[in-house]
């Protein structure tokens, strides 16, 4: 618990971890484990009136509670979640040209999206086709926050199976509706193999994204990362299966722009 004072305006109030003390019913106790060992174990958040305090009416309006990195910088900005915080309408599409036979479904669960299907060979090309899970079908109607202060995208995923042909992509306002599918900023989404079935965060820096790629394979033909202008005007998020034949099953909880993980983040 940490005490802090409020103002009469809606504004951010930053409280460093060093201000928090272990308490029981308002009294400080000394038998709790170290705070840094518990930050990944948080299961509830509360806001209360200070103890000891004085008896009086109160009225508090809360807009958000979030974690910040050192120096008061936001460590991430949610772009799409499935818990109501950054909600978007998602759907899936399959390779539509030259007899493509890939198929996919995208089902919204209570806290994640369930994306599965099969990427099949396109007979006319004799190469695997693609599927895409994406936010709103007309991207210029979508609104995403400015993420130009972040270092890249983080997606929380669970790969059920061993499919390896995933990619993460996004469009911006400079890419018109008709070019969004073929001109998005795209990067390989490599999901490490884990021994459990838990979701894991995968971070991709902006430098790994490019809007110059082969439409048949998705491989970069030139490195052209997004500019700050593009990062201020994202209009659509995309998760692809591409250039790899086979069945896939991916679940993802959120896509957020974030600071690059530090060594401490990796170790913890």
| Domain range summary for the chain, segments of one domain joined by + | 78-267
Beta-carbon count within 10 A of 36 CB = 10
Query: pLDDT tens digits for 93-129?
Result: 998 766 789 999 999 998 999 999 999 998 888 889 9
- Strands 76-81 vs 127-128: parallel, antiparallel or unpaired: unpaired
Residue 7 banded pLDDT, cuts 50, 70, 90: confident
Angle at 167 between CA 163 and CA 172, to 5 degrees: 160
Would you state the pLDDT for residue 225?
A: 97
Rounded CA gap, 205 and 207, in Å? 5
Q: Is the pTM of this model over 0.85?
A: no
Mean of pLDDT over the chain = 85
Mean pLDDT on 55-75: 72
Rounded CA gap, 48 and 88, in Å? 32
Report the side by side order of strands in the sheet with 130-134.
91-94, 130-134, 234-242, 166-172, 185-188
Nearest in space to 153 (alpha carbons), one of 170, 172, 130, 174: 170
More confident site: 138 or 179: 179
Token pair for residue 193? 């193999």
Rounded CA gap, 250 and 133, in Å? 10
Would you state the pLDDT for residue 71?
A: 47
Task: Assess whether pLDDT exceeds 60 at residue 140.
Answer: no
> What are 236's strand-pairing partners?
171
Angle at 224 between CA 219 and CA 225, to 5 degrees: 100
Beta-carbon count within 10 A of 202 CB = 18
Q: Where are the beta strands (DSSP E) in the chain?
A: 23-24, 27-28, 76-81, 91-94, 103-108, 113-119, 121-122, 127-128, 130-134, 152-159, 166-172, 185-188, 200-205, 234-242, 246-258
Would you state the pLDDT for residue 236?
A: 93
Task: Assess whether pLDDT exceeds 90 at residue 19.
Answer: no
Nearest in space to 257 (alpha carbons), one of 207, 206, 185: 206
Residue 141 banded pLDDT, cuts 50, 70, 90: low
* Fold entry, domain 78-267: Jelly Rolls (2.60.120)
Nearest in space to 241 (alpha carbons), one of 103, 126, 136: 103
Rounded CA gap, 130 and 213, in Å? 14
Rounded CA gap, 265 and 268, in Å? 5
Rounded CA gap, 55 and 187, in Å? 57
């Amino acid at each position: 618990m940490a005490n802090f004072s409020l103002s009469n305006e809606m504004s951010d109030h930053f409280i460093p971890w060093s201000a928090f003390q272990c308490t029981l019913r308002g009294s400080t106790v000394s038998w709790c484990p170290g705070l840094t060992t518990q930050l990944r174990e948080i299961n509830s958040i509360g806001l209360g009136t200070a103890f000891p305090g004085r008896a009086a009416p109160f009225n508090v309006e809360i807009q958000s509670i979030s974690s910040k990195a050192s120096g008061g910088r936001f460590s991430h900005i949610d772009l799409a979640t499935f818990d109501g915080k950054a909600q978007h309408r998602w759907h899936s599409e399959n390779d539509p040209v030259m007899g493509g036979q890939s198929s996919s479904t995208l089902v919204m669960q209570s806290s994640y999206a369930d994306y599965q299907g099969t990427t099949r060979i396109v007979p006319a090309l004799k190469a695997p086709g693609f599927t895409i899970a994406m936010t709103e079908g007309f991207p210029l109607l979508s609104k995403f926050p400015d993420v130009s202060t972040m270092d890249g995208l983080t997606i929380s995923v669970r790969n059920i199976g061993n499919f390896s042909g995933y990619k993460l992509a996004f469009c911006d306002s400079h890419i018109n509706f008709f070019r969004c599918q073929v001109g998005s900023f795209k990067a390989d989404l490599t999901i490490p193999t884990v021994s459990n079935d838990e979701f894991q965060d995968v971070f991709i820096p902006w430098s790994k994204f490019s809007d110059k790629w082969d439409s048949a394979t998705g491989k970069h033909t030139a490195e052209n990362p997004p500019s700050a202008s593009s990062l201020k005007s994202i209009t659509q998020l995309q998760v692809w299966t591409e250039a790899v034949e086979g069945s896939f099953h991916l679940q993802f909880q959120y896509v957020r722009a974030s600071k690059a993980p530090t060594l401490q983040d990796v170790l913890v």
